[in-house]
Amino acid sequence: MRYLVLACDFDQTLADAGVVADSTLAALERFLASGRKLVLVTGRQLHDLQRIFPRLSLFERVVAENGAVLFRPASGEIKLLAEPPPSVFTDALRRHGVPFSAGLVIVDSRQSEDDRILAVIRELGLELQVIHNKGAAMVLPSGIDKGAGLLAALAEMSISQRNAVAIGDAENDHALLAACECGVAVANSIETLRRRADLTTAAPNGRGVEEVIDRILRDDLRGVPSRLTRQPSPLGSAPDGVQLSLDSPDTNTRSE
């Protein structure tokens, strides 16, 4: 068994219009029955996710707020992976008339408000970034994204990213796919994510997730190109100075 974890985005990946189909839930349960683990990785605020999706217990970890919050469903524990933006920032957004919703760390707004949000960040001299998700704008501390959040979850689970598959659909899923050995885009993904992915599903949304789960259970995604080949692990240098790398689980190669 090579792939031990499936990390799923929520909206327009696992769920369609906020609803996870019964067939998709059944596929998640089949995945768990094989001895593997699930991680949910979403831009949503945790309280909102808990309200619309009561089956969080299927997941070993939930990474919410686009990588800023780590939730352990089994114990109910919440861990912040970054500090919330200072109140001076949200106060300034209100003064400028920017509509927003604040989570534990994230500040959510609309992409159309980018100019005003960035103006406030510059005005206050804050180290904040704006990440987009199909029309939404998410303000987070620098360095926080879905990939960083997933790596924190995998570290707690003592599982390597080399044993993980990620699946998503939007701009904020680039970091998620890059953090895993295999990155998958559902059929309804934006074009740039489909180009970057190792695999694009034939079906959209939850049916695409079902498709990937069935393939993992059938043959562990045999035949799908591995990031090990494109991103070799450095082993050191040969006596002549040539860099040695690990290109596959059982093959050493020399890379110029």
Q: Which amino acid, residue 250? A: D
Count the neighbouring beta carbons within 10 Å of the beta carbon of residue 28: 22
- With vertex at residue 241, the alpha carbon angle to CA 239 and CA 243, rounded to the nearest 5 degrees, is 110
**Which H or E run includes 157?**
helix 146-157
Contact between 18 and 52 (Cβ < 8 Å): yes
**pLDDT, position 215:** 97
Mean pLDDT, range 60-66, rounded to an integer: 98
Mean of pLDDT over the chain:
90
Give me the CATH topology for the region 87-141. Answer: Hypothetical Protein Ta0175; Chain: A, domain 2 (3.90.1070)
pLDDT single digits (tens) 168-200: 999 999 999 999 999 999 999 999 999 999 999
- % pLDDT > 90, the chain: 84
| Cβ neighbours for 69, distance < 8 A, ≥ 6 positions apart | 46, 63, 78, 79, 80, 81, 103, 104, 105, 106, 149
**Distance from chain centroid for Cα 162:** 15
Give residue 171's pLDDT: 93
Q: Indicate the pTM of the whole model.
A: 0.86
Where are the strands (E) in 53-200, listed by range? Answer: 61-64, 69-72, 77-80, 101-102, 107-110, 128-133, 136-141, 164-168, 182-185, 199-200
User: Can you tell me the distance from the alpha carbon of 68 to that of 46, in angstroms, rounded to the nearest whole number?
Assistant: 10
If we measure between CA atoms, which residue out of 114, 168, 122 comes closest to residue 139? 114
Evaluate whether 89 touches 124 at the Cβ level (below 8 Å). yes
| Segment holding 248, helix H or strand E | strand 243-248
The CA radius of gyration of the chain, in Å to the nearest whole number, is 19
Chain segment 192-251, per-residue pLDDT in tens = 999 999 999 999 999 999 999 999 999 999 988 765 444 555 556 566 665 555 544 433
Contacts of 23 by beta carbon, 8 Å cutoff, 6+ apart: 206, 207, 210
Per-residue pLDDT tens over the stretch 82-114: 999 899 999 999 999 999 999 999 999 999 999
SS3 of residue 25 by DSSP = helix
State the fold for domain 5-80+144-225.
Answer: Rossmann fold (3.40.50)
Where do the structural domains in the chain lie, given as residue ranges?
5-80+144-225, 87-141, 227-256
pLDDT at 1 over 90: no
Distance CA(132)–CA(102), nearest Å, equals 16
The predicted structure's pLDDT at residue 234: 53
Distance CA 9, CA 64 (A): 10
Higher pLDDT, 61 or 237: 61
DSSP, res 14: T
Q: Which pLDDT value is given to residue 225?
A: 78
Q: Do domains 5-80+144-225 and 87-141 have the same CATH topology?
A: no
Res 223: pLDDT: 86
Q: What is the mean pLDDT of residues 128-143?
A: 92
Q: Is the pLDDT of residue 143 over 90?
A: yes
Q: Which run of H or E residues covers position 253?
A: strand 251-255
